[in-house]
Amino acid sequence: MGKMDERMEMLRDEFKARYGDGDLRFFRAPGRVNLLGEHTDYNDGWVLPIAINRDISIASRARDDRVVRLYSLDFQEETEFSLDDIAPSTTRKWSNYVRGIALELEKRKIRLKGMDAVLQGNVPIASGLSSSAAMEIGFALAFQGLNGFDMAPVEMALLAQKTEHEFIGVMSGIMDQFISRMGQKDHALLIDCRSLESRAIPLSGALGAGRGSNRDLVFVVGDTRVRRALADSEYNIRRRQCEEAVRLLEPALPGIKALRDVSLEQLQAHEQLLPEEVRKRARHVVTEDERVLQGVAALEGGDMAAFGRCMNGSHDSLRDDYEVSSAELDTIVKAARSVPGVLGSRMTGAGFGGCTVSLVEKTAVEKLTQVVKGRYQAAFHKEPSLYVCTAENGAHEVK
């Protein structure tokens, strides 16, 4: 029995103990690691995430009334609410993602049945791997499965993003919900956050396949185990700074709608229009968009060393220009880059804690683990969590 099967059996047993026998339906929605394109999504730019082998899993059954009962195995907490009176919970905040999704569906005149559900996740919370988007998409899919309405994947991602904005109060871009719903196994997904067009970029020729001249490579995530207390508030500040940059540049560059419309040459020509802090924020976004497109070209050309250099440049820009890194993230990145066989390393996610992602030759994973854990322990007197991530499919019903 595979790992997913074991988790589903655990969910089934817990569901039976709490809510009784009956036909259950199971859903999963993955977290994500963003390989390139940090803080570009809400600037209408490009991002390059993968859906990962860590997810929120749900056992669910429809009810005859309008009550939703939820039990979280991770928190060992239960909560319930009525679909006729949906309000945020102050004591079971993890349930607000489900409440918000239900409210958005109801606003769209989709009259939902109640639900009993047991959930469990192995996406580290507040780590920058998008456990929140996995919750939103997982339950949007569960409501869809139990109620039988049609919703296109892009529409579901937008609905989940609206939940994040209006119910949770975080002005997230579209990437996290999009990749959780639409990820493809063994591929990264290049997402144009303006048009919402996407293109799957194969990784199998470069990662783990050992074909031709490509080395046997994996992505290793380093979790600082620092939960991102500053991330949400600082995220909203950065977003406002980017909007300010566009407002100040627009007289010189008529027609620009977002920093995605500004080239590095244009930014350099008009940088005197921007206060220093705003200029640095804009420079990160403009150069990061360039790095995403360069990184895609490197992947398609099998030039993994060039892709690693894009990752390195991304971290340095996030640290120096966008100022969303941290001592813990920088320590892991610096340690990882010192190991032969590591092609690139960067923070991933909103910042101020959370995770790094490194592109590593398989033969170097053991050395990487040893060096990173040793240096992190010496600096912070605790160990980071390290794990190899694979690119997986987006959210789906588990049969």
Give yes or no for a contact between 75 and 64, defined as CB atoms under 8 angstroms apart: no
Question: What are the E-state strand segments in the chain?
Answer: 25-36, 46-62, 67-72, 77-82, 115-121, 187-192, 198-202, 217-223, 342-348, 355-361, 385-389, 396-398
Query: Which one is catalytic: 55, 116, 176, 261?
Result: 176
Residues 14, 18, 24, 29, CA torsion sign: negative
Beta strands at 115-121 and 25-36: parallel, antiparallel or unpaired: unpaired
In which residue are the tokens 């490197």 written? 298
Burial of 272 (0-12, 13-18, 19+ CB in 10 A): exposed
Of the candidates 378, 386, 395, the residue with the CA atom closest to the CA atom of residue 342: 386
- Beta bridge partners, 355, equal 223, 348
Rounded alpha-carbon distances, angstroms, from residue 57 to 25, 141, 333:
11, 11, 31
β-bridge pairing 115-121 and 67-72: parallel
Concerning whether 176 is annotated as a catalytic residue, the answer is yes
Percent helix / strand / coil, the chain, rounded to 5: 45, 25, 35
Residue 20 neighbours by CB distance under 10 Å? 9
CB 373 within 8 A of CB 384: yes
Q: Which tokens go with 89?
A: 């919970």
Structure-derived torsion over alpha carbons of residues 258, 264, 268, 270, reported in degrees to the nearest 10: -30
Contact in structure between 43 and 242 (CB atoms under 8 Å): yes
Dist CA 56 CA 131 (whole Å): 7
3-state SS class at 185? coil
Q: Nearest to residue 117, comparing CAs of 85, 94, 133? A: 94
Active site residues: 176
